[in-house]
């Protein structure tokens, strides 16, 4: 007997659909676009809100307080008051902002700066999502993170990334700094942007550190000069997650 032409055609159709599914399904999973709102808690108890938009290859992290409403977009590159972190995971590039007084500094950095240790059997549920624990040290502080391995995006708040899943919570072990996801949603599109800043406007991390140390030292010298006139003694303490000027960022700070 000859093969039923209908069954043959149907089998070919199913095989064709299966072939395309196997080829394109990983691409669909890996190209998911997410928007996550984080609550950031700092040592003085203040809470600041940030938003991460990511597609797994490129992400933008910025403070929501810089916008008057969700409908008003602030251009990251032109607003000199805007805080942001841009990550290009394919090119291993991180662009971030910092401030010296009121002057915004733009820093070019690398993404390969975190060595994560995965912790077994230490799960936590965040926004109804099961998350796993990991630990890492980063620029003077130890951190604990919770990530979801089913969201195949190696990204997270601020400069944190590199885990096998999206980071929904991370905090320093000294309990000074904490990012907690409070909203998460998929967005229809979030295209990959090419990060392109003029080299003259960028500082390397090492050059920024030296610039920051000099700025703090000059500030302390000014305070000491003022002290001679007033006779008052005080301490200058910097609250900053990355330890750059150790004397000014630990203990009571620097006496002047």
pTM equals 0.79
Model pLDDT, residue 47: 86
Assigned CATH topology for domain 31-197? outer membrane lipoprotein receptor (LolB), chain A (2.50.20)
Domain residue extents for the chain: 1-30, 31-197, 205-255
- Predicted local distance difference test score (pLDDT) of residue 23: 39
Tokens of 174: 């000294």
Distance, CA of 245 to CA of 238 (rounded, Å): 9
Give the DSSP per-residue string, 210-246.
HHHHHHHHHHHHHHHHHHHHH----EE----SS-SSH
Residue 45 φ then ψ, to 5°: 90, -5
Q: What pLDDT, on the 0 to 100 scale, is given for residue 74?
A: 35
Per-residue pLDDT in tens (0 to 9) along the chain, 256 residues:
455 544 444 444 444 444 433 433 343 344 489 999 999 987 777 888 999 999 999 999 998 854 433 333 333 444 455 789 999 988 899 999 999 988 889 999 998 779 999 999 999 999 999 999 999 999 999 999 999 999 999 999 999 999 999 999 999 999 899 999 999 999 988 877 777 777 778 999 999 999 999 999 999 998 888 776 666 668 888 889 999 999 999 888 888 8
Q: Whole-angstrom Cα distance, residue 90 to residue 26? A: 17
pLDDT at 128: 95
Sign of the alpha-carbon torsion through 142, 146, 149, 155? negative
Those residues with Cβ within 8 angstroms of residue 189's Cβ, 6 or more apart along the chain or in another chain: 33
* Predicted local confidence at residue 21, as pLDDT: 38
Q: pLDDT at position 71, please? A: 33
Distance CA 253, CA 77 (A): 34
CA distances from 198 to 106, 107, 168, 203, 208 (A): 11, 12, 33, 11, 16
């Amino acid at each position: 007997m000859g093969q039923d032409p209908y069954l043959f055609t149907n089998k070919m159709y199913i095989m064709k659909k299966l072939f395309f599914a196997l080829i394109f399904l990983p691409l669909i999973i890996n190209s998911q676009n997410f928007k996550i709102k984080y609550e950031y808690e700092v040592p003085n108890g203040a809470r600041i809100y940030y938003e991460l938009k990511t597609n797994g290859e490129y992400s933008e992290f910025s403070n929501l307080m810089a916008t008057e409403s969700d409908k008003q977009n602030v251009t990251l590159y032109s607003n000199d008051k805007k805080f942001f972190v841009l990550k290009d995971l394919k090119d291993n590039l991180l662009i971030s902002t910092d401030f010296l007084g009121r002057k915004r500094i733009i820093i070019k950095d690398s993404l390969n700066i975190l060595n994560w240790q995965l912790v077994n059997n230490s799960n936590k549920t965040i926004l109804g999502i099961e998350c796993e624990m990991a630990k890492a040290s980063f620029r003077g502080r130890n951190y604990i993170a919770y990530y979801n391995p089913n969201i195949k995006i190696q990204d997270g708040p601020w400069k944190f990334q590199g885990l096998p899943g999206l980071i929904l919570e991370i905090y320093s072990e000294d309990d000074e700094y904490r990012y907690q996801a409070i909203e998460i949603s998929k967005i229809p599109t979030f295209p990959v942007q090419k990060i392109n800043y003029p080299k003259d406007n960028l500082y390397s991390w090492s050059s920024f550190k030296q610039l920051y140390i000099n700025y703090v030292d000059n500030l302390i010298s000014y305070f000491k000069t003022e002290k001679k006139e007033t006779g008052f003694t005080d301490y200058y303490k910097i609250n900053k997650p990355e330890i750059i000027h150790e004397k000014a960022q630990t203990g009571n700070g620097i006496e002047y």
